[in-house]
Structure 1
Amino acid sequence: MEDSPDAGRIIQDHRNLHNWTNKSVGDNDDELPLYMKFNDGHRLSIAAYSVLLVFSAVANMTVLVLLVKRKRVQPSRINTMLMHLAIADLMVTFLIMPLEIVWAYTVQWLAGDAMCRIMSFFRTFGLYLSSFILCCLSIDRYYAVMKPLQLVNLDRRERLMILGAWIGAAICSAPQIYIFHLEHHPAITWYWQCVSFNIFPNTYYELAYNIFVLMAMYALPLVVVLFSYSSILLEIFRRTRNPGYADGVTRSSLAFLGRAKIRTLKMTIIIVLVFFVCWTPYQVMCIWYWYDGVTALKVDARIQKVLLQIEVYQVST
Structure 2
Amino acid sequence: MQTEQLVTLWILFIVTISGNAIVLFSTWRRKRKSRMTFFVTQLAITDSFTGLINIMTDIIWRYTGDFMAPDIVCRVVRYFQVVLLYASTYVLVSLSIDRYHAIVYPMKFLQGERQAKVLIGVAWSLSFLFSIPTLIIFGKRQLSNGEVQCWALWPDDSYWIPYMTVVAFLVYFIPLIIISVIYSIVIRTIWMKSKAQAVIISSCPGGKTSAGYSSRGFISRAKVKAIKYSIVIILAFVLCWSPYFLFDILDNFNLLPETKERFYASVIIQNLPALNSAINPLISGLFSNRLCPPFEDRRTRRLGGTFRDRSDGGQEMQVLSKPEYI
TM-score (norm 1): 0.76
Pair 1:117–1:244, CA change in 2 (3 A): same
**What corresponds to 2:153 in structure 1?**
197
**What corresponds to 1:308 in structure 2?**
270
Q: 2:133 aligns with which of 175, 179, 186?
A: 175
**What corresponds to 1:9 in structure 2?**
none
Residues 129-173 of structure 1 show CA distances to partners (whole Å, capped at 9, x for unaligned) of 121111111110101111224336523222211111111111122
Equivalent position amino acid for 1:251 in 2: K
Q: 2:173 aligns with which of 174, 199, 219?
A: 219
Kindly report the root-mean-square deviation, in angstroms, between the aligned alpha carbons of the 2 structures. Answer: 2.8
TM-score (norm 2): 0.74
1: CA distance between counterparts of 2:110 and 2:25?
Answer: 29
Residues 86-125 of structure 1 show CA distances to partners (whole Å, capped at 9, x for unaligned) of 1100000111111011111222211121111011112222
Is the 1:226–1:272 Cα contact (8 Å) retained in structure 2?
no
In the comparison of the two structures, how many residue pairs are matched? 271
1: CA distance between counterparts of 2:257 and 2:138?
Answer: 25
Gaps of 5+ in 1: 1-39
Equivalent position amino acid for 2:245 in 1: Q
Pair 1:297–1:147, CA change in 2 (3 A): farther
**What corresponds to 2:208 in structure 1?**
251
Pair 1:185–1:226, CA change in 2 (3 A): closer
The answer to whether 1:116 aligns with 2:74 is: yes
Is the 2:102–2:109 Cα contact (8 Å) retained in structure 1?
yes
Residues 232-269 of structure 1 show CA distances to partners (whole Å, capped at 9, x for unaligned) of 12111111113796378883259613485974774465
**What corresponds to 1:96 in structure 2?**
54
2: CA distance between counterparts of 1:90 and 1:187?
Answer: 34
Equivalent position amino acid for 2:122 in 1: G
2: CA distance between counterparts of 1:182 and 1:243?
Answer: 62
The answer to whether 1:43 aligns with 2:31 is: no
Residues 183-210 of structure 1 show CA distances to partners (whole Å, capped at 9, x for unaligned) of 124684xx3121113357x83x542221
- Per-residue deviation, 1:292: 1.3
Is the 2:197–2:215 Cα contact (8 Å) retained in structure 1?
no
Pair 1:284–1:172, CA change in 2 (3 A): same
1: CA distance between counterparts of 2:103 and 2:247?
Answer: 37
Alignment of 1:61-80 (within 5 A): 61-70=21-30, 73-80=31-38
1: CA distance between counterparts of 2:266 and 2:40?
Answer: 30
2: CA distance between counterparts of 1:266 and 1:153?
Answer: 23
The answer to whether 1:278 aligns with 2:212 is: no
**What corresponds to 1:87 in structure 2?**
45
1: CA distance between counterparts of 2:22 and 2:4?
Answer: 27
Pair 1:253–1:228, CA change in 2 (3 A): farther
Is the 1:44–1:302 Cα contact (8 Å) retained in structure 2?
no
Identity %, equivalent residues: 24
Equivalent position amino acid for 1:192 in 2: V
1: CA distance between counterparts of 2:184 and 2:210?
Answer: 21
- Per-residue deviation, 1:228: 2.1
Is the 2:36–2:226 Cα contact (8 Å) retained in structure 1?
no
Pair 1:50–1:186, CA change in 2 (3 A): closer
